[in-house]
Amino acid sequence: MSTGRQALQSALDENGGAIPFDTFMGIALHHPQDGYYTRNVRTIGSRGDFTTVPQLTPALGEAIGQWLRAQANRCGWKRFNVIECGPGSGSLASAVMKSFGWLGKRKVDLHLVETSEPLRAEQRKFVRGTWHSAIEEALALCEGGALIYHNEFFDAFPCRVFRKENDGWTELHLKAIEGKLQEIFLAPARPLPASTVFARDWNDGQRVEVFEPVREWMRGMTASWQSGAMLVIDYGGTTEEIYHRRPAGTLRAYRGQQRLTGDEVYEMPGRQDITADVNFDDLAMWGREFGWKVGQIKPLGELAAAAPGAEAFRCVSFAKL
C-alpha cells in the first residue's frame, strides 16, 4: 500500500505531471494510509484543527432532535432509525440523543456513518450506536426507512474547481515545480459536472467550486433509501450568496485553528483540513434530479436560533416519499 506522498506522485506521473484539484483533495483528506480524515485527524474542536458549531453549543443538537421528532410524527413512526453521517467528534450525536430524553432515546436506533478510525474512537466515548462505512450499509440495516442528518459532512468531499475565461471554463490542476505543488488552470479533461454555477454569467477570472462526488453520493443512496427525510447543514449558501464579492472562490484549509488560503492549501497534504463552501442550489437541483422532495434553503438561524456562527450556515431538507 502506498503512502499519501507516493499516491500523489503516482497520480502526477499518470496524468502527465498535472492532476486535477479534486484528485489532490481526495488523496490529502481520504488516502487510506495517510489521509487527513482517515488517519491524521485527532479530534474536532478547540484541541483540533478546526471547530464546528456543535462544539460551541448544544442548541444545534436540540434543534435537530426537534426536527427528527417532527419528521417521525409525519411518517407515523413510533420507533425509528436515525443516521448521522460524518459525526466528527461525536458531540452533535450526543446532543441530539440527549434531546430525546431518557425514555425517548429508547425509541431511537442510532447509526453513524464514518470512514475515519481515529474519529470513530472519539465518537464511541460519547454515543452508543452502530457504525457503518457507507450510507448504503446503514440504510440496508434500517430496511430503507431512516431519518438522516449531517453537519459539515458534504464539505469534506473532494470538489472540482473551475475558472471562467473569456471563451469558457478552465479547471484547477496542480503541478509539482521544484518539489512544491503549484496551481495551473487547464482545459477540463472530463465533462463539466452538473451544476447551477455554469448557468450564470460571470466576470472573467471568477473561480467556483463544484462538489461532484456529493451528487454521486446522493445518487448512490437513492436506491437504498425508501422512506424518511434528510437534513443537510453546511457552511455555504446559494450560488449568489457564496460568490457575491468572492472572485477567488472559497477554497481554504485549516491547521491548528488557522485559516489558510492560496498556496498554503497545498503545504501539508494529509496534515490539514481542506474545504470549500457547499453550494445549496446544486444540492437542491440534484435532490430534484433523484426525485426527492426538496425543502426551502434556509439560514441555519431558522433551525437553531442560538447557534453561534450560524450566519454562515444554511440548511435544506429532503424527503423520500
Q: What is the rounded (10 degree) CA torsion for 95, 100, 103, 109? A: -80
Tell me the C-alpha distance between 68 and 62, whole Å.
10
**Taking CB under 6 A as the rule, does residue 88 contact ligand SAM?**
yes
Q: Contact between 158 and ligand SAM (CB under 6 A)? A: no
How far apart are CB 153 and ligand SAM at their closest, in Å?
Answer: 5
Q: Which of 115, 196, 222, 272 binds ligand SAM (CB under 6 A)?
A: 115
- Cβ nearer to ligand SAM, comparing 50 with 318: 50
Please select the residue that binds ligand SAM; options are 21, 24, 153, 292, rule is CB under 6 A: 153
How many residues form the binding site for ligand SAM (CB under 6 A)?
Answer: 19
CA pair distance 237, 296, nearest whole angstrom:
12
Residues 298-317: x where in contact with ligand SAM by CB under 6 A, - otherwise, as a string: --------------------
Instruction: Identify the helix (H) or strand (E) that includes residue 56.
Output: helix 53-56
* Residue of 52, 71, 206, 222 that binds ligand SAM (CB under 6 A): 52
82 touching ligand SAM, by CB under 6 A:
no
Q: Which amino acid is at 176?
A: A
Grid cell for residue 25: 483533495
Please state the closest distance from residue 32 (CB atom) to ligand SAM, in A.
12
Is the CB of residue 301 less than 8 Å from the CB of residue 312? no
State how far the Cα of 54 lies from the Cα of 304, in Å rounded to an integer. 11
Among 12, 25, 64, 113, binds ligand SAM (CB under 6 A): 113
Write out the binding residues for ligand SAM, residues 90-109 only, by CB under 6 A: 92
d(CA 18, CA 267): 17
CA atoms within 13 A on the CB side of 307: 28
By CB under 6 A, residue 4 contacts ligand SAM: no
CA-based torsion, 209, 207, 254, 18: positive or negative: positive
Residue in this structure with the C-alpha cell 487510506, named with its chain if needed: 32
Stretch that binds ligand SAM, among 87-95, 223-231, 251-259, 287-295 (CB under 6 A): 87-95
Nearer to ligand SAM, 151 or 196 (CB): 151
- CA gap 88, 272 in Å, rounded: 15
Query: Binding to ligand SAM by residue 58, rule CB under 6 A?
Result: no
| 119 in contact with ligand SAM (CB under 6 A) | yes
Indicate the SS3 state at residue 127: coil
Binding residues vs ligand SAM (CB under 6 A): 37, 44, 52, 54, 85-89, 92, 113-116, 119, 151-153, 156
